[in-house]
Amino acid sequence: MQPISLGVIGGMGPKATSVFYDKVIDQTEAHKDQDHINMVILNHATMPDRTEAILTNQSERFLQSIEQDFKLLEHAGVANIAIPCNTSHFYYKQLQAMTNIPIINMVEETIRYIHDRCGAQTRVGILATNGTMKTGIYKAACEKYRIELYEPHEALQDEVMKLIYEDVKSELATDPRKLENMVQHLITQENCQSVILACTELSCIPIRGEFKKYTIDAMNVLVEQSILRSGKSLRYQSVTEQMVSSSGQA
């Protein structure tokens, strides 16, 4: 049996996990089944809500719940682990301490991506859960790379949470214009050069190219790293750049 290159701890939420898997398949340079990545996906849908765990200081429930997932992936012999959930990366150090298998740090890789392509001193906005915002994980990463992070005002943040929890997680019909309007506000009113989509639920919303070209989707960065660390090539030079160009916006 060929080694398993990637283990995925998903279910946070299930729709975001399915989108992550589709993106990995679509962006891997492959011409037959055997060219794709061997992976194990754990759709741990009953995982305690990450934002709630952070805001109510019940982190132990989340950590205990995910610990068994690492044991399963270790038994499967995966080479790397991807966790398509931004908020959970608040616990990155504790999670990595649970296993010897390298966990791809989606937050770190996303900010490094921005720095490498835009340089320091750039101003970026962020759309994320209250849990992610409270932890300051993106702010800390931006400070490390000398990137200015703009965090949405309270009213906009409330709208972000409604979009994530009341639309996407509730599997309601989501109007992409809601997300597009948020991106437009950050670009035109808050003078951001780009906007980080720092919640994998937002990755499920198909926005138009004229807005997509301003976004850096953390899930796309995780997809790219998952493919490269699995020893495969990208179908396109960059997942994020491809997602922009494929929409007709170069």
Residue 113: which CATH number? 3.40.50.1860
Using 50, 70 and 90 to split pLDDT, how confident is the model at 239? Answer: low
Give me the domain span that covers residue 113. Answer: 107-217
Q: What is the pLDDT of residues 192-234, one digit of tens each?
A: 999 999 999 999 999 999 999 999 999 999 999 999 999 999 9
* Same domain assignment for residues 140 and 82: no
pLDDT tens for residues 84-105? 999 999 999 999 999 999 999 9
Q: For position 151, what pLDDT does the model report?
A: 96
Q: Is residue 246 part of a domain?
A: no
The answer to whether residues 90 and 134 belong to one domain is no
27-80 residue pLDDT tens: 999 999 999 999 999 999 999 999 999 999 999 999 999 999 999 999 999 999
Q: Do 63 and 36 belong to one domain?
A: yes
> Does 84 lie in the same domain as 63?
yes
Which among 75, 88, 77 is positioned nearest to 9, based on CA atoms?
A: 88
138 inside domain = yes
Residue 6: in which H helix or E strand, if any? Answer: strand 6-10
**Within a domain: 250:** no
- Within a domain: 227: yes
Q: Is the pLDDT higher at 157 or at 250?
A: 157
Query: Residue 250 — pLDDT band, cuts 50, 70, 90?
Result: very low
191 in the same domain as 101? no
pLDDT at residue 68, as a whole number: 94
Handedness of CA 20, 22, 27, 32 (dihedral sign): positive
Residue 199 is among the residues annotated as catalytic for this protein = yes
Residue 183 has pLDDT above 80, yes or no: yes
Look at residue 133 in the predicted model and tell me its pLDDT. Answer: 94
> Does 95 reside within a domain?
yes
Claim to verify: residue 212 and residue 111 sit in the same structural domain: yes
Per-residue confidence at 174, pLDDT binned at 50, 70, 90?
Answer: confident
**Does any domain span residue 241?**
no
**Could you tell me the pLDDT band of residue 120, with boundaries at 50, 70 and 90?**
confident
Distance, in Å, from the CA atom of 191 to the CA atom of 206, rounded to the nearest integer, reads 23
Same domain, 55 and 97: yes
135 pLDDT exceeds 50?
yes
Q: So what's the pLDDT on residue 19?
A: 93
Same domain, 224 and 101: yes
Identify whether the C-beta of residue 19 lies closer than 8 Å to the C-beta of residue 95.
no
Task: Assess whether 147 and 230 both reside in one domain.
Answer: no
Model pLDDT, residue 95: 97
140 and 68 belong to one structural domain? no
Q: How many domains does the chain have?
A: 2
Mean pLDDT, residues 110-127 taken together: 92
- Torsion 50-51-57-58 (CA) sign: negative
Q: How far apart are CA 80 and CA 116, in angstroms?
A: 23
Mean confidence (pLDDT) of the chain: 91
Q: Per DSSP, what are the bridge partners of residue 41?
A: 8
Q: Are residues 143 and 43 in the same domain?
A: no
Task: Check 142, 192, 199, 204 and give the catalytic one.
Answer: 199
91 and 148 belong to one structural domain = no
- Active-site position among 85, 142, 192, 204: 85
pLDDT computed for residue 245 by the predictor: 42
85 is catalytic: yes
Q: Is residue 244 part of a domain?
A: no
Q: What is the pLDDT of residue 42?
A: 96
Residue 167 lies in a domain: yes
